[in-house]
Each structure stands twice: as structure tokens, then as C-alpha cells.
Structure 1
């Protein structure tokens, strides 16, 4: 069975947004801006409805699509979202402003690897969403996981990276080989983080959900 066909079949059941959000998504996809796949986004929204997080940190804003969708899933969480590309950041700010969500979504311009001291003042976070430079996933996880509330969850997107994590050493393209290796290393590393209960999902381009164990969950 063709996995991409199945993925499109599942995505066909995702309800449509209002016109302004549909426009943001459509334009982003047409321009090749990496935004979350529809079925993955729908799952993340449902996860937020289940978990009811009050504060969310997103690493990788792009044009603000996922931050907007996360907030609108239940209109509760405050979302702090980091973007290092200034043009993307400006566009995200405009999209947030146009939807009148300035008091709920706070885009931050800068390199997530250098903003920990600024971001920690807004924590702790009930949910952290990592969807930025793939070679930096482990760094971001290590850097920001101390800001996760007890029992909170870290969601890592694109963990399958278009299938490149499977036998990356046999890829001919050097960049693809490097990225495939890096994401595979991250997945292997994440599976060994015993402070977290992690489940790996093949939904979309792959998601990892890592829930921080509470003190009572640890056993000798």
C-alpha cells in the first residue's frame, strides 16, 4: 500500500479552516515554506485539547501557521514562538496581527540556540514543539527541556524526514545523507532518554511525543 496515498486519504478528513487561515496555509505550501502536514497538525490540535496546556513554546515559527492553529485548537494557551529568519518573523507577526491574536501568540526573533535566558522568564511550559533546523533537534531538546513543566510534553516534528532516516548511509546526495544521519541519531538518542516516556508516530512526516515523567514515575 502506498503510504503517501494513505496520508492524503487521512488528510482529506481534516476540517477546513476559515478563509484567512486557509490562505496562510495555501500560500505557504505554494511557496515551499515548510509547514506542518495537515494530518499531523490535526493530531497536534487534538493533543492540545487533551492536555489543555496553558503555555506552549514553539521552536520554528515560519509564517506562524502552526502557532495560530495550536492556539485556535482551544483558544487557551499562550504561545511563545521563536524564528531566526527575519522575513519569516515579520510575516508571522503580520499574520498574527491580522487574526487579532497579538495577546495570545508572541513571535520572538532570534536563534533559539542563543535565547534560553530570555525564554526561561516565560516558562515553565506545558508543551514544547520542535520544528526547526533538523540538525539542531538534540541541541534544542537539551537546551529547552529544563523549561518543561513536570508532566509536560515535547513534540518533535519531521522525525522520519521524508524517509531519509532509513539507511541514510546509502544515500548518494551528501546533504540528504547528513540530514538523514542526524535525524536518525536524534531518534536513537531520544529513545534512550529515560526521564521521558516517548512514543514515535508515523503520522505525516513522523512525530515523537516525549512526556516528562513525574518524580513518582521513577522506579529503582
Structure 2
């Protein structure tokens, strides 16, 4: 998205709660990738309309997005998965500080392995949010599809990846495979017979998919 538009939209947003501001500041100082505020605001709009009881988040980082999703879905129970041990413990600490232990369950492990285990246990979710290794999005989708209820919402972050997905130019060598996979993922979502998808060009691109 054009930086001027992005800044304009962000300036229109209501201020983040103090607890969220602290995490935003920490993430900025320590170079922790967390979801952008515009995208978070849009996701919470979807959650407010959907009012899910169960959410699966793939990619916890420091717990910022999981905690913020409770603003839009205060009655939801969230399971969130993180493979980085340091981030996992940071997320646990942040969730405990906000006394949200009963609402957010953080699982340490590889996302695909944890999702496979949840799918084998026949777990079902109203909303699934994918924000982990972008090169694995198709694998995550295949597992998520087994657990997402009919009428559920699948949200995927970073689907436009720094503009490289739509720029038309050749991606830098180190990103070529990733960009190719993201393009294929977006095309799959947009053409999947069981999903109605819209890709929203805010921040790094967010797709919202309704499962028929």
C-alpha cells in the first residue's frame, strides 16, 4: 500500500489500549514482527461481527495479536502456536500480565505438527488466523481446512509480502520461491470452491476467507 495512505489510515485509528501500546513499543525496539495496527483493526472488525467462540492462531510471536483479538471476540477461547522458545515464553509472560491465562492457551511447537495433532483430535474452530512461515501457507491451509467450521473465517496475513507479490518485477533471488508460493496460495484461495475470499491491500496484505 502507498505509504501516505497507510499513514493516513493509521492516524485515523483509535489509540491502542495501554497494554497493547507497551507490546507495540517492545516489538519496535526489539525488532519483533507483529501484525500492523491497520490490519489488527480490520481483523477485530471481522471478529466483532462474527463473535467466534474458538480461534486458532498460527504464529504467536509475543502474544500481541492473540491478546488484541480478545477485544473483538471477548468470549472466545484462543489456541495459539509458536515454535520459537524465546517468543513462546515472552508470550506466556505477556498473557499472564494481562490475566488472560484462561482465555489464551499458547502451545510451543512446529505449527504444522501442532495443527496436525489438533486435526487428528477433531478440533474445530470458528476462526483460524495464519501468520507464520509464509512459505508454508499452503500446508497450513490444508490442515486449517480440516478444522474450520462451515461458516467460519480464515484470515491470512502478509499475502502481498512487501509488494513483491503484485509488483510485476522479478523478486530478489532470496525471495523468489517465497513469492511464487504466495502467488499460488492467493490464486488457490480466490478460486477455491469452498471459500469466498477477498484480499485487502492494507499493510502487508490480509486475506479474509469465508468457508461456505
Instruction: Give the corresponding residue for 1:204.
Output: 203
Structure 1 residue ranges without an equivalent (≥5): 214-220
* 1:69-89 residue CA offsets vs partner (Å, 9 max, x unmatched): 001224111000000111000
Cα offset, 1:186, TM superposition: 1.0
Bigger mean CA deviation after superposition, 18-27 or 52-61: 18-27
Instruction: Give the corresponding residue for 2:92.
Output: 93
Where do 1:1-220 residues align within 5 Å?
A: 3-120=2-119, 121=121, 123-166=123-166, 170-171=170-171, 173-213=172-212
CA distance in 1, matches of 2:36, 2:150: 29
| TM-score for the superposition, normalised by structure 2 | 0.94
Please state whether the residue corresponding to 1:165 is helix, strand or coil: coil
| TM-score for the superposition, normalised by structure 1 | 0.91
Cα offset, 1:169, TM superposition: 6.4
Cα offset, 1:123, TM superposition: 2.7
Please state whether the residue corresponding to 1:16 is helix, strand or coil: coil
Contact 1:82 1:109 survives alignment (8 Å) = yes
Structure 2 residue ranges without an equivalent (≥5): none
Contact 1:168 1:177 survives alignment (8 Å) = no
CA distance in 2, matches of 1:13, 1:79: 28
